[in-house]
């Protein structure tokens, strides 16, 4: 039996994992505690109350919250129809740039030419580095994890949170903007 702090996500089928995260999002869990219960197996933490608690600590860790605030401000910008990141692309970029300090520095580098993969990579590396450097016990299960499982966990946590945040942005948008978006989407499908 694995250690209770073990993080062993399934890295072999990211498309299925993204589908599972989208299904959790579509079920509209009432709060992050309920979502954490469903996300814990995806994070490789197993199921049950302790797994839920460990998953929940990720969302409450200051490094996660700070990185998400940066992501929200610089990528989402109140929009509700942006693409979510691809684990495979983020994973590849993370391996290429992980030793470059701009990806974990507190100050965001020039990101005018970035796409979703860059923002996801910045989020994942910055969050993982922040958790590893933190003296807090929160999300301690992610401190000693290798880069591949850490990126997996952080990408899919961000996918879920991005979808939830975009749903909230859509609710707050003026009706005129929502109708315009619907019409443009409909035209694009034709």
pLDDT, tens only, 77-125: 999 889 999 999 999 999 999 999 999 998 988 999 999 999 999 999 9
97 domain-assigned: yes
Angle (CA) 175-180-182 rounded to 5° is: 95
The pTM for the full model equals 0.88
User: What percent of the chain is modeled with pLDDT above 70?
Assistant: 88
CA gap 8, 158 in Å, rounded: 18
Whole-number average pLDDT of the chain: 90
Is 170 domain-assigned? yes
Look at 51-60, 70-79, 107-116, 173-182 and tell me which has the smallest mean pLDDT: 173-182
CB 41 within 8 A of CB 5: no
Is 87 within 8 Å of 152 (Cβ atoms)? yes
- DSSP code for 78: T
Domain count within the chain: 1
Main-chain dihedrals φ then ψ at residue 143, nearest 5 degrees = -65, -40
| Contact between residue 150 and residue 124 where contact means Cβ atoms under 8 Å apart | yes
Instruction: Tell me which residue range forms the domain holding 91.
Output: 63-189
Sign of CA dihedral 58, 39, 51, 33: positive
Whether residue 132 is contained in a domain is answered as yes
């Amino acid at each position: 039996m694995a250690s209770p702090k073990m993080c062993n996500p399934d890295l072999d089928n990211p498309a299925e994992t993204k589908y599972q995260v989208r299904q959790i999002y579509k079920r509209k869990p009432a709060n992050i505690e309920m979502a954490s219960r469903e996300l814990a197996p995806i994070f490789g933490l197993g199921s049950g109350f302790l797994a839920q608690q460990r998953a929940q600590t990720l969302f409450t860790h200051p490094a996660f919250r700070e990185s998400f605030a940066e992501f929200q401000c610089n990528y989402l910008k109140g929009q509700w129809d942006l693409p979510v990141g691809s684990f495979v692309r983020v994973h590849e970029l993370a391996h290429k740039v992980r030793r470059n300090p701009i990806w974990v520095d507190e100050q965001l580098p020039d990101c005018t030419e970035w796409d979703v993969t860059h923002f996801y990579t910045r989020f994942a590396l910055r969050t993982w580095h922040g958790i590893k450097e933190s003296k807090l016990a929160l999300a301690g299960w992610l401190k000693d994890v290798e880069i591949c499982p850490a990126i997996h966990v952080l990408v899919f946590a961000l996918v879920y949170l991005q979808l939830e945040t975009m749903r909230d942005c859509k609710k707050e948008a003026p009706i005129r903007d929502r109708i315009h978006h619907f019409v443009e989407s409909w035209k694009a499908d034709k």
